Amino acid sequence: MLTMREFENYIVEHLKERLPECEITSRHVLKNNGKELTGVCIKANDSNIGPNIYIDKVYNRYIDGEDLDIILDELQLVYETNSNPEFNLGNLTIFHDVKDKLDIKVINTALNEEYLQNVPSMKFMDLSIVARIKISDNATITITNAMLNEWKLDKAYVLGCAIANTLSSDKLYIKPIGQVIAEMTSLDVPEEVDDAFYVCRTEADNGQYGARAMLFNKQLMEFAKSIDSDLYVIPSSIHEILLIQIKSNASHNEINDMIKDVNSTAVENEDILSDHVYIFHKDTGFES
């Protein structure tokens, strides 16, 4: 049985045999909430970019007995499927060429102190807004301080562009939780629950990092006014939030206890957004 480091080296060396036209390296990447992942980067020799494929979960499958050749077949397929993004990064050093590709994600500030040291960000309550370059539907590059230095631009301008792009190109998905559950299962939800709880996220990228919906202040205000209620905003994860009418029976403390319980038992550590509820007023927006 290979250790994780031995598995990492095995994957790199055997992918090199399969893909001799590529430069293949591995590296450890700090991701959301301090999670470190092992990535294998596969880059064609005539290209300056290639997909970074994380192998931590694949290693768990190997530990469970999956054949190494099957794993290599899958990783090769992932590379071949994602190796030709529409976006050409030949001019990555020129901001004008990436400006329209910028978007954002929202993460927890306290849980990402080390990560945010190298990444420009903007405060949003106790969260942080981070900018990315969207290469394709499945690939992004996070903007770093080094990129800002290369472009000779300040973070306020770059993050402002990313936020503006997101607000103009994306839109909100808001549905009663009962409808969402019904679409996924055959279960029925009591009408009083269905009327009080709503699932909310952004629609782009299949909801990936959809909790950035919290920045859509105008649309959230329109929704809150349409149901004539201020809202509890529950940070389900970095991908989704829940909206609850404040006039419902749920109390502030009960919701906070629920969030902490769900975060500790049902949400992957790297997907946690926050451990407390936010209050959104239909006339003024988020309570500071």
Query: If you average pLDDT over residues 119-137, what whole number do you get?
Result: 92
User: How does the average pLDDT of the chain come out, rounded?
Assistant: 89
Domain boundaries, the chain: 4-82, 92-169, 172-286
Q: Which of 125, 159, 160 is nearest to 145 (CA)?
A: 159
Query: If you average pLDDT over residues 52-77, what whole number do you get?
Result: 93
What gap in Å lies between CA 148 and CA 154, rounded to an integer?
7
Q: Which of 265, 207, 216, 256 is nearest to 232 (CA)?
A: 256
Q: Please, are residues 56 and 28 in contact by the beta-carbon 8 Å criterion?
A: no
Q: Per residue in 202-261, pLDDT tens?
A: 998 877 899 999 999 999 999 999 999 999 999 999 999 999 998 766 678 888 988 998
* Structure tokens given for 284: 């003024």
Q: What is the pLDDT of residue 181?
A: 72
Q: What is the pLDDT of residue 82?
A: 73
- This prediction has a pTM of 0.84
Q: Per residue in 6-34, pLDDT tens?
A: 999 999 999 999 999 999 999 999 999 99
What gap in Å lies between CA 65 and CA 1, rounded to an integer?
10
* Structure tokens given for 275: 């451990």
Crossing angle, helix 4-18 and helix 68-82, to 10 degrees? Answer: 60
How many C-beta neighbours within 10 Å does residue 100 have? Answer: 11
192 confidence band (pLDDT: 50, 70, 90) = low
Place of tokens 């499945």: 138
Residue 125, phi then psi, degrees to nearest 5: 55, -125
Q: What is the pLDDT of residue 195?
A: 65
What gap in Å lies between CA 147 and CA 89, rounded to an integer?
13
Tell me: pLDDT of 149 over 80: yes
List residues bridging with 237 in a β-sheet: 240
What gap in Å lies between CA 131 and CA 189, rounded to an integer?
38
What gap in Å lies between CA 131 and CA 114, rounded to an integer?
17
First to last CA, the chain: 53
Question: Coil, helix or strand for 271?
Answer: helix
E runs forming strands in the chain: 22-30, 36-44, 52-54, 102-108, 121-124, 127-136, 139-142, 172-176, 197-202, 231-237, 240-245, 278-281, 285-286
Tell me: pLDDT of 183 over 80: no
Query: If you average pLDDT over residues 60-77, what whole number do you get?
Result: 93
How many C-beta neighbours within 10 Å does residue 288 have? Answer: 6
Q: What amino acid occupies position 75?
A: L
Question: Coil, helix or strand for 286?
Answer: strand
Q: What is the 3-state secondary structure (H, E, C) of 112-133?
A: HHHHHCCCCEEEECCEEEEEEE
Q: What is the pLDDT of residue 43?
A: 87
